[in-house]
Amino acid sequence: MRGRIDRIAEPWGDRTPYGPGQPWPARRDSHLTGSGVDRWVPAASLLHSNGDAMDVAVRDGRIVGVRGRTDDRTKQPLDAHGPGAIGFHTSGQLFPEEYHTLAVIARAGIDTNHLDGSTRLCTATAAEALKETFGCDGQPASHTDVDHCDTFALFGRNMAETQPVLWMRVPDRLAGPEPPRLLCVEKRTPAWAARICDVPAREIRRAAELLGDARRLLSTVLQGVYQSRQATAAVQVDNLQLLRGMLGRPGCGVLQMNGQPTAENTRECGADGDLPGFRNWQNAAHVAELADQRPDPAPEATP
């Protein structure tokens, strides 16, 4: 390491040149303030796909430098403490094939159950509402139901702002023949709601009539409902579909939508703390089905 580097002129530090076909030389760049280090402490990796973890230099209880890390310490806790020592935390930005691969690596490869993610945390009440009503976290509807519904309900959301790609289908339906009726609804009595949101009570009663006489009702829900103080309202939207028998037919269903683009994929693949294939932890048959699919352990070698 050189004594002093101009980090503006050379933001990437020293070079380790190598030619075509040659392996990239192992690098452990370091930067220290002063001299003397009491101990090096491994830091957490923030961007796991790029292996960005560092060792932190500590002197007199203060950080005095960092250095790159060239070895993986992952196998040590795995050998010392078993599969439960390894955990994964995911987002909702990958493709379903990638989440499937992650779930296979974690559950079948490493054999850890410690998978969780922001998609489960941000949609926990939506997922539990679907499980409570339908027995699994799967969405009982399709985006193509927009093409068939005669009543389109939006609960706790502004679809034009939060999901503009899906919203693009709606104005096209509204501009075509036999357009669906578009409904944004509120709970409490019509008179109570009228005082708060300045919507005439007769319009709120009209909203109830739309729900009551719809022939093909598609309801959609976003965080305005299931991340609110009264998140159990998400269950009531599911119950509305059940009461009206609006399931299993084109244009009928409910979508407890997600904030991240592939949040549903993490849940379907079991990459965020739930079981793969929309299976339910509370369903003994679902758990037994997965247990039966586990490969038998390799036979022990005989002397």
DSSP string, 75-112: HHHHHHH-GGG--EEE-S-S-HHHHHHHHIIIIIII--
Alpha carbon dihedral 222, 227, 228, 231, in 10-degree steps, equals 90
Tens of pLDDT, residue by residue over 241-259, are: 998 999 989 989 888 877 6
The radius of gyration computed from the CA coordinates of the chain, to the nearest angstrom, equals 27
Q: Is the per-residue pLDDT at 31 higher than 80? A: no
Tens digit of pLDDT for each residue in 136-147?
888 888 888 888
Q: Which of 225-239, 272-286, 287-301 has the lowest mean pLDDT?
A: 287-301
Greatest mean pLDDT range, 8-12, 107-111, 125-129, 154-158: 107-111
pLDDT digits (tens, 9 = 90+) for 60-117: 999 898 887 767 677 888 889 999 998 888 887 788 888 888 888 888 888 888 888 8
Residue-range domains of the chain with CATH? 30-68 (no CATH), 122-256 (3.40.228.10)
β 30-32/62-68 pair status: antiparallel
Sign of CA dihedral 282, 283, 288, 291: negative
Is the model more confident about 298 or about 289?
A: 289
Q: Give the rounded distance of the alpha carbon of 98 from its chain centre.
A: 13
Question: If we measure between CA atoms, which residue out of 182, 225, 189, 181 comes closest to residue 205?
Answer: 189
